[in-house]
Amino acid sequence: MKFNTNEYLASFVNWEPRLDQAGVSSFSVDRMDGLLKVFRHPESSLRFAHIAGSKGKGSTAAFLANILRAAGYRVGLYTSPHLYSVHERIRVLDPDVRSSDSFEGMITPQEFDEQLRSHQGEIDRLRASGVDITYYELLTALAVAHFAAKKVRLVVLETGLGGRLDATNIFETSVCGITPISLEHTAILGGTLELIAAEKAAIIKSPSQRAVFARQEPGVMVVLKARAGLFGILPTLIGEDMPLNILSEGPDGVRFGVSGRREYSDLHARLPGEHQAANAALAIAMAEDLEAYGLVLTQDAACQGISSTVWPGRFEVFDGLRPVVVVDSAHTPQSAAACARAFSKVFPGCQAVVLLGISRDKDIAGICAALGPVAGRVVTAKADNPRAFAFSAQELGAYFPSKECVSFNDVPSAMAGAVRLAGKSGIILAVGSVFLAAEVRKECINTHHI
């Protein structure tokens, strides 16, 4: 019988489309032990850098991986979720192989299928013994096996949810980075910033590690520093130990300077927004810490790595379309506020037709409030995902008082409605979830003239 990858993956418990139904017991690092044994412990030959936080994890991971590639190293990059294909999550960035593909270096379908096929018997025996492996756990083990096979010098891991119970926390990591923390997934991670911070700080678990922290709320920073102190780690603090200076912002990205162990005076990130400069600074600090483990960094590598980083769906501007379309994956009030600030800098004096699609387990009121200042009109869409939230007319009126609001049942209809409202001279800002970003982005790529 022919092996069907999609059917096989679908046989594993997958909490990602229904996180609002998951609980603490749904996640366990312990299951990874048996699964890694099936894959012959590929992690034993690898070194890891680990990134947790509420926002900016993926961008930071991409910046770090590209810096290390520019320094001459082959790097494994593991991120989640994906926009279109699960293969996007597992990428190898090789200094000798370059591509214009937004997801360059991703595992091929053939490589992915071979990893599954070759281990299927043992995986199924493990499941039959009562180990209820999840979809995410399987992908994590498969990714690390792929990185080992490709002989990468270092793996950059983005946590999926939290940190303490995340499958990625099974690995011994050299450097930990923690991006800004905000309220999210409170039913699983806890109802306060401090509780969520404790979950995410649990990726710090050895005196041999180094740690870098982004700017945080005061209570969060107390928790993070206390965790680092348990292991005698003195963390690097972005903005204090590593000052960050924004030079300019515009449609082509953000220019900034960073003072670390070296001076990085004129860096250019193609990802717009001050928050992306902060993510890049965190990545540079992590790269500098990796020098303690034998990797070599230069100013040129940092500069080239930052400027070469693309991260689809993160304030991605389709300025060849009329109206212009901006696609962003912001899904927390804080990330929505960062998106709104970036919009005001890139398009000063303008308001957008906000095309909004939010998952029902998010802080909907907070996201809407953050986007209010840049929203001239609002169009809502229900993305093709079980977690997608459907706005009622009353809710829209309450969230966006005095704004013209229209709701649609699907993204293509909402996109057409937004285009009519914006006109050729306007701007559409599509924001609220990764799921919405994926669908709108596909509409943009497939359309030369809207």
DSSP per residue, 38-88: HTT-GGGG--EEEEE-SSSHHHHHHHHHHHHHHTT--EEEE----SS-GGG
Residues 261-302 have pLDDT tens digits of 999 999 999 999 999 999 999 999 999 999 999 999 999 999
Sign, Cα dihedral of 137, 141, 147, 152: positive
- Under 8 Å between Cβ of 267 and 307: yes
Name which of 70-79, 107-116, 202-211, 437-446 the model is least confident about.
437-446
Residue 129: per-residue pLDDT: 94
106 backbone φψ class: left, alpha, beta (φ>0; ψ -120 to 50): beta
Element housing 178 (H / E): strand 175-178
- Give the whole-angstrom CA distance, residue 298 versus residue 258: 14
Residue 365 half-sphere exposure, CB side, CA atoms within 13 Å?
4
Mean pLDDT, rounded, for 298-324: 94
Non-local CB neighbours of 6 within 8 Å, separated by 6+ positions:
none
Residue 226 CB neighbours (<10 A):
12
Query: How far are the Cα atoms of 80, 243, 252, 298 from residue 256, in angstroms, in the given order?
Result: 27, 11, 13, 17
Average pLDDT over residues 179-207: 94
Contacts of residue 226, defined as CB under 8 A and 6 or more positions apart, other chains included, come to: none
Neighbours of 210 (CB within 10 A): 24
Residue 176's SS3 state is strand
pLDDT of residue 113: 96
pLDDT of residue 25: 75
Residue range 7-25: mean pLDDT, rounded: 84
Nearest Cα to Cα of residue 171 among 184, 189, 185, 159: 159
pLDDT tens figures, 423-446: 999 999 999 999 999 999 999 988
In this structure, the number of other CB atoms found within 10 A of the CB of residue 191 comes to 10
Q: Tell me, what's the pLDDT at 449?
A: 40
- Record the pTM: 0.94
- Cα distance between residue 407 and residue 381, in whole Å: 6
Structure tokens at 284: 């540079």
User: Of all residues in the chain, what percent carry a pLDDT higher than 90?
Assistant: 84
pLDDT tens sequence across 111-127: 999 999 999 999 999 99
**What span, in angstroms and rounded, lies between the C-alpha atoms of 179 and 352?**
28
- Residue 338: which of 177, 182, 159 has the closest Cα? 182
Edge-to-edge strand ranges of the sheet holding 48-52: 90-93, 75-78, 154-158, 48-52, 175-178, 210-213, 236-237
- Look at strands 75-78 and 154-158 and give their pairing: parallel
For the chain, count helices (H), then strands (E): 15, 16
Spatial distance between the Cα atoms of 53 and 65, rounded to a whole number of angstroms: 17
The pLDDT assigned to 450 comes to: 42
Greatest alpha-carbon pair distance for the chain in Å reads 62
Q: Are 78 and 107 in contact (CB under 8 A)?
A: no
Measure the CA–CA gap between 127 and 134, rounded to whole angstroms.
Answer: 10
C-alpha 50/C-alpha 210 separation (Å) is 10
Angle at 61 between CA 60 and CA 66, to 5 degrees: 100
Residue 29 pLDDT > 70, yes or no?
yes
Residue 1 in this model has a pLDDT that exceeds 90: no
Total residues found in the chain within this entry: 450
Q: In this predicted structure, what is the pLDDT of residue 18?
A: 78
Tokens of 119: 């281990």
**CB atoms inside a 10 Å sphere around CB 230:** 11
Domains present along the chain, CATH in parentheses: 5-308 (3.40.1190.10), 316-445 (3.90.190.20)
